[in-house]
Structure 1
Amino acid sequence: MNARVMARTGRGTVRGAANGSAAEGAARAGLTARGVIYLLVGVLALQIAFGTGNREADRGGALEEIADKPFGAVMLWALGIGLVGMALWRLSEAAFGATGKDGHKAKKRLPAAARCVFYAFVAYSVLAFAAGAGGSGSSDQQSRDVTRKVLEMPAGQWVVGLAGAGIVVAGVVIAVQAIRRSYHKKLKLGALSSRARTLLDVTGVGGGVARGAVFAAAGAFAVRAAVDYRPDQAKGLDDTLRSFAQTPLGPWLLALVAAGLVLFGVFSFALARWRRV
């Protein structure tokens, strides 16, 4: 190998390492930001369960909670930038493939592209809030507005119904994967102490099941809205969480789900430290 080839190979290695470090930093910042949102939504839902909450348990409520704290504006900008990192990380997975088995196949890259779009929207909404543009309305009103517009389209009932069914399936998959501890495949297990592994399993299983339950419930409400042709029956995150308190178990079920969302927030923090990227 001559000197020119060696130099080119060396530059490629350095460039690859730099790109890897950038993707890793973006991923860990994004996972931390996601953890903050889930943690705050869970806390707000707990307050509702015990009758002390006066904010909606959704992303808007979480942002308002942060804004009221000292250095709230700085925290909001940091949160938005972290979510931009999450979107960029998912974009890199969609473009170049994810880590792990089959990471370069379409079945891994297409979901990464969808997550990129989702987190780009979330990041935009957080940064707009931080810039003083205010929120875009509650998650409940947004869900009803979107459902109403789609129902008015040709075959709108089918679109809303299938989308709702897809969200139900996604919720079930999230819960099942959490119970099976599928996240182990993405962790640096060799770097974990027994205490850290216990923390990950408690938060990963409990948080994943709660998150899956919320997804499944929201999807079920969308299916019902499609079947009855009533967009007002679609629910955002806040109304979906409050619906758990209307079951025979009352506020205790809401408190249980809310505690699970808090666990998922902690789980996201743990992933930010120990996930393979």
Structure 2
Amino acid sequence: MKIRERVLVTGASRGIGEAVALALASAGYDLSLWARSGEAMETVAAACAAKGAHVEIAVVDVSDASSVQIAAERATWSSDGLAGVVLNAGAGMWRPLEDETTNAWDTTVATNLNGAFYVLRACVEHLKKAGGGLIVGISSDSALYPFPNRAAYAAAKTGMRALLETARLELRGAGVRISVLFPGRVDTSFKGGHSDAAPGTRPGALSADEVAGVVQYLFTMPRNVEMREVHMASLTSTFGPFSQCQES
């Protein structure tokens, strides 16, 4: 009987993280789900379990190093290791530089960049134990084409890209693969320039399910194949300097 492999998904309570969890559950993976909202995550976990996945959840603030460390120590990865990690947790609000507060800057960088580092650090030995796994980083076109009013977010996502490139160099010999996704606008509850963001507020944008479909595909690739970067956008939305409609 084939041993079911486990994947950790951060920011798994809604949006892209929820969609990724459901897609991987459908593909036959067991899951560890981390997010700050335990109640919402329980709903996602139940939906994944209905697809046959064994699911463990933990309320984790990835921007808090001790929160990540405690969750990793309590997780059930020690026996078989991890087949993969999806670094999805993120945050950001668009403001001009002169209006950016120190607290907002720190929160954005702590969640998108520091959080990715804390989670990676906690998972590396478990990926190696599994004989090499897949790390998927959910970045943004803001890391490729910085936009006005997004200094903190663009800086954090650019830093995340550099972090993952460094990890690639260090972990390649252990068989660990790294894929980074750079989606354009995605129709989720991610705030960005919206005060009331929710699915349906970004017409023409990518859906969370479309991004999750790419993540699921990456996990089907042979272990000797590394899809290093994926740039993706809806043709009826924007991606970096390529505009098809008014950006929001």
Structure exhibiting the larger radius of gyration computed from Cα positions? 1
Structure 1 or 2: more helix by fraction:
1
More strand by share: 2
Alignment TM-score, normalising by the size of structure 1: 0.29
RCO greater where, 1 or 2, for CA within 8 Å and sep 6 or more? 1
